[in-house]
Amino acid sequence: MLPAGFKKHGAKLLLRFLGIAMCGIIGVLTKEGNAGKLAYEGIKRLDYRGYDSWGIAVKGSGLSIYKRTGKIGSIPNKLLQGSIAIAHTRWATHGKISVRNAHPHLSQNGKIAVVHNGVIENFQELRDFLAEKGFVFKSDTDSEVIPMLIEMYLEEGCSFREAVRKALLHLKGSYAIVAIYEPEHIMIGAKNASPLVVGLSDGRVLFASDLQAIAPYAEEAIFLSDLELVEASPEIKIYNIESGLSIKKLPKKIDINLCYADKKGFEHYMLKEIYEQEQAIINASAQNESLLNKVVESIKSANKVFIIGCGTSRHAAMLASYMFAKISKLNASALLASEFPNFANLIDEKTVIIALSQSGETADVLEAVRAAKRKGAKIISIVNVMGSSLMQISDINLMMNAGPEVCVLATKSYLAQLAILYLIANHLIGNTEQAKKELAEAAKKVPIIIKKNERKAKLLASKLKNTSSIFVIGKNACSITALEGALKIKEVSYIHAEGYASAELKHGPIALIEKNVPVIVFAPDASDESITNAIEAKSRGALIIGVSTERAKCFDYFFNVPCKELFPILSIIPIQLLAYYLALERGLDPDKPRNLAKSVTVK
Ligand code: F6R
């Protein structure tokens, strides 16, 4: 993962700055002899985690390795077989993308193969230490120290499991690894601060960065916590990495519908996931009553409530703070997870943190939550990915149940988060049944909103495809919808877009309004105050795109969202569609925008 010659501090800072190591890993041990095929198919489902190089190691009569740069392509047929296989897909913003730096990495004797996701912060010291012992490195990565350390301990007479465990004790940083050793029918997976899940089926064991990659081949799953190591032979034994003591964990049944995605005939996941928002609201609203009660009890006995998240999840947090204030008269401040340390002085044992994260693996969120936990705060999380780190470290977890979100852009998870937060806000005042009815109505509106607006979004996208800047405004809760609308447009179409509370326009940004600059306004109706601000922009030549329940005179284009009650939530849909079609008009892949990855697992 790292270029040669990086000094330890420089390398560490650069890694943190650039956000590297959001790779995908997989491991398969089967009795059917098709481990290579399953690992290859699984890694293709993880390519959203990285797509600059990839590789696979298959154990048949010996160890065969195949590595390539670029997106995952085909592999030779003979590699589809084997009893054990491990595979890796990589994403990096710096360092040489090369075959020799692609995983799996081998030990010096070529008998141990390892795939790794994470960052070994003390890799340089370890390389120096191993080099002194005569180990010669073939790649420039931090990861290669792992198979070398394992080999060192095997040479000292340790068992394979003990050699892996002892090797891991040297590592500072984050890792999820899968390791295999050619002479033995054993596969070992382990994790610390990077995701790894175990899938099980009759005589088959799978490791993966997320459940989605292996769900079609597993019936049950075990969700690992940090510092856990699993030996699969195919019998499963779990150990704590630090103590070496064995741990008992029961597998959970996998609901394939909630963790396996295909495009179901849509050209892109983004469009499919926009369409799935009806079901996402229905699923998210079906929360277990006793869990909701626990959430409400915790909030009521707290003296402070903070809602945290990053990106789109942060927008959901901000919108929720409006809902809590309006519906439940509760002051729940929304904080950006990465800025949380500035507010750490406010946290104590009477604080409740509501942490929002689709992936449940966002490093900034996890760090904020861990800091809050250390101060005794209670953690309520809302996540979509089953078994994720956030879910595991929370006191109470509510699942979004939105199904896998594969497109890098968050769409259905945003609506799912908001549906749950709306439910909590209403549960706090005993209005749950009414809220459930409203959410059921809102879900029914999703296909109507798509039907009314998709063609219009497509047409408008062809008109706006060469525009250089778009402004998005809204008042009250819609000021947050404006932020989310601008984020959707910029990240997928690469058109500069900014969101504002509409009244803020005249405090500065209006200086940028000139002839034909598009201004999108979210206005629940034609008499909303934001319309005044839209008119102010129109007087300076702006092209006004209204998203509303009714057409206002100043609109040059009109997206009709016939839902007044939950308007700030549902009105994002036409702009998700506009963003999608802008990406297509500009020849871009909406599912994999440049420089982004679905799980931002580093700071
Ligand atoms: C935007 C987007 C990101 C994520 C952010 C947090 O479309 O996808 O801004 O919302 O990276 O991700 P989670 O929710 O997984 O913590």
Q: Domain with 236 in it: what CATH number?
A: 3.60.20.10
Is the model's pLDDT at 543 over the cut of 80?
A: yes
181: CB partners within 8 A, 6+ apart: 111, 112, 150, 154, 160
Answer whether 408's CB lies under 8 Å from 390's CB. Answer: no
Task: Grade residue 545 by pLDDT with cuts at 50, 70 and 90.
Answer: very high
Task: Grade residue 93 by pLDDT with cuts at 50, 70 and 90.
Answer: very low
Q: What CATH number does the domain containing 461 carry?
A: 3.40.50.10490
Q: Which of 23-37, 128-142, 253-267, 521-535 shows the lowest mean pLDDT across its residues?
A: 253-267
Q: Closest ligand 1 atom to the C-alpha of 310?
A: 6
Q: Please give the sequence-ordered ranges of beta strands (E in DSSP) within 48-111, or none if there are none.
A: 53-59, 63-69, 84-90, 105-106
Please give the Cα distance from 375 to 371 (Å, whole number): 7
Q: Closest ligand 1 atom to the C-alpha of 408?
A: 8
- Only one residue has tokens 């995952």, namely 72
Q: Which of 8, 79, 27 is nearest to 213 (CA)?
A: 27
Provide the residue range defining the domain that includes 367: 263-430
Q: Closest ligand 1 atom to the C-alpha of 385?
A: 15
Q: Which of 12, 23, 378, 456 is catalytic?
A: 23
Task: Examine the fold and report which residue of 242, 259, 276 is the final residue of a domain before the chain moves on.
Answer: 259
Please give the Cα distance from 41 to 54 (Å, whole number): 13
| Same domain membership, residue 174 and residue 57 | yes
Is the model's pLDDT at 33 over the cut of 70?
A: yes
Measured at the CA of 577, the angle between CA 434 and CA 470, to 5 degrees, comes to 110
| Same domain membership, residue 210 and residue 135 | yes
466: CB partners within 8 A, 6+ apart: none
439, part of any domain? no
| Same domain membership, residue 241 and residue 311 | no
Answer whether 462's CB lies under 8 Å from 493's CB. Answer: no
Q: Which of 78, 452, 598, 603 is catalytic?
A: 598
Is the model's pLDDT at 594 over the cut of 90?
A: no
Catalytic annotation on 23? yes
438: CB partners within 8 A, 6+ apart: 422, 565, 566
pLDDT at 368: 97
Tell me how crowded residue 250 is: count the other CB atoms within 10 A of its CB: 6
pLDDT at 284: 98
8, part of any domain? no
| Same domain membership, residue 235 and residue 91 | yes
1, part of any domain? no
Which of 22, 212, 313, 369 has most ligand 1 atoms within 8 Å of CB, for mutation?
Answer: 313
Answer whether 383's CB lies under 8 Å from 357's CB. Answer: yes
Rg (CA), the chain: 25
- Only one residue has tokens 């598009």, namely 518
pLDDT at 1: 42
Out of 2-11, 88-97, 103-112, the most confident range is 103-112
| Same domain membership, residue 420 and residue 460 | no
The set of protein residues with a Cβ atom below 6 angstroms from ligand 1 is: 310-313, 357-359, 362, 365, 409-410, 487, 491, 600
242, part of any domain? yes
Task: Examine the fold and report which residue of 228, 259, 290 is the final residue of a domain before the chain moves on.
Answer: 259
103, part of any domain? yes
Burial-class residue 97 by CB neighbours within 10 Å (0-12, 13-18, 19+). middle
Q: How many domains does the chain have?
A: 3
Task: Grade residue 71 by pLDDT with cuts at 50, 70 and 90.
Answer: confident
| Same domain membership, residue 272 and residue 235 | no
513 Cα to the center of ligand 1, angstroms: 29
| Same domain membership, residue 90 and residue 32 | yes
